[in-house]
Amino acid sequence: MKRTLLAILAASLFNLGCHGLQNQPNRFASKDKPTIRVATFNVSMEATNYKLTDNLDASGNALTTALQSDQFKQINNIAQIIQRTRPDVVLLNEFDYIADPEQGINLFKNRYLEVSQNGFDPITYPYVYLAPVNTGVKTPIMGENARLTHFGFGHYPGQYGMVLLSKFPIDFDNVRTFQHFLWQDMPNHLMPTKQDGNSWYAQNERDIMHLSSKSHWDVPVKICDQQINILASHPTPPVFDGPEDRNGRRNHDEIRLWKDYISETGNNYLYDDKGKKGGFSGQSFVILGDLNASSVDGDAHPKAISQLLKHPRINNYLAPTSNGGLLNKPQNPHAASHTAHWGMRADYVLPSADLTLTNSGVFWPAKDEDGAELVADRSASSDHRLVWVDIELQVDKSQCAL
């Protein structure tokens, strides 16, 4: 790809923050304070990536089979990207939900992450959070003319699931999930109830429709003497629908859930899967995930992601960037901050405003940089890129062994 003068200039400006993506994290960015790296990565580790059967409805075990086979270079490459960037906490989107960890996430940990990939140091995550998601889960509304047949798109329960890996203890007793929160219970929701004079979602559909296409998790992580809550989700893509824009509206409201959750008021309507009401009660958080929305590219509702990017409790830092993203769409002025190969910022690491950031980036090497083969196309790893942020802890390094 021939670089324009503008691209060369932009690449040089971004080089300082992006070229060292494969380096070890800077544990002590300041003299006295340690840092941790928090990341999100849509890994595309679901059935359609592993051509093991033509019957997708029966491929709920595809990931287990693929992990056990040691025949899919894509899985090794995903592990290598994680070993290169070395996040301390990482959310994996599109990692199929498998209730038995020994048949899913532990296979990935033991056989890939904890084994050197291409000479890079193994990486260990002692703490894991995984839980059911709505994708592929059938609704009780069935029949020839039924439209709401699943709570979230998927050929089998758990497809496009997610899992959180952490080097630090997770406070499992205080995790909150919002898998079953009803869309109609959000005040002033955008659910399309009429299209061309006819109801899109009939009353019996509205009565059971979950807001979250996968789930929304609030996972407290204990890091030294500090707690940081991971707010994880994967809203539906705002496409694959009709003029009623049901997916675009759902994407907006899935993102809005987090906006309301972290706000000081306006969240009394929220209830989690255990019945607890209200919003976020902690101090520090990081919103993680493939949010499938951009304020400048794509088909999302124009105000969807702005709800978070302009929120006073969100750290207003410059978007993470990469040389690979910049050169992937050189005519797009926002290309350096893209996180998906088709040209969009879709994946986010959004720390709360009280947290101090020291560095950020997107793992997307340019074609002439080390590791470029790992992101050559979706079959190499994923159609998304790993995004990371380094956070300075407010503890003395002598009191925090990392």
Mean pLDDT of the chain: 89
Find all residues with CB under 8 Å of 131, minimum gap 6, and list them.
Answer: 97, 175, 177, 179, 215, 217
Task: Name the pLDDT band for 195 (thresholds 50, 70, 90).
Answer: low
**102's tokens:** 């020994």
Q: Please report, for residues 89, 106, 234, 351, the alpha-carbon distance to residue 381 in angstroms, rounded to integers and kept in the order given.
A: 20, 19, 19, 26
Task: Name the pLDDT band for 325 (thresholds 50, 70, 90).
Answer: very high
Q: Is 289 left (phi over 0), alpha (psi -120 to 50) or beta?
A: left
- pLDDT given for residue 144 in this prediction: 62
- pLDDT given for residue 58 in this prediction: 59
Measure the CA dihedral 287/307/246/340, to 10°.
-50
Task: Name the pLDDT band for 31 (thresholds 50, 70, 90).
Answer: low
Residue 8 has pLDDT above 50, yes or no: no
Average pLDDT value for residue range 147-166: 91
Residue 14 has pLDDT above 50, yes or no: no
Which sign does the torsion angle of CA 274, 60, 375, 306 carry? negative
* CB-CB contact of 247 with 236 (8 Å): yes
- pLDDT given for residue 13 in this prediction: 38
Name the domain count of the chain.
1
Residue 288 has pLDDT above 70, yes or no: yes
Higher pLDDT, 13 or 350: 350
Instruction: Spell out where 12-123 has E strands.
Output: 35-45, 89-95
Task: Supply the range of the domain harboring residue 328.
Answer: 5-399
Average pLDDT value for residue range 176-198: 86
Per-residue pLDDT tens for 112-145? 999 999 999 999 999 999 999 999 999 888 776 6
The enclosing domain of 63 has a CATH number of 3.60.10.10
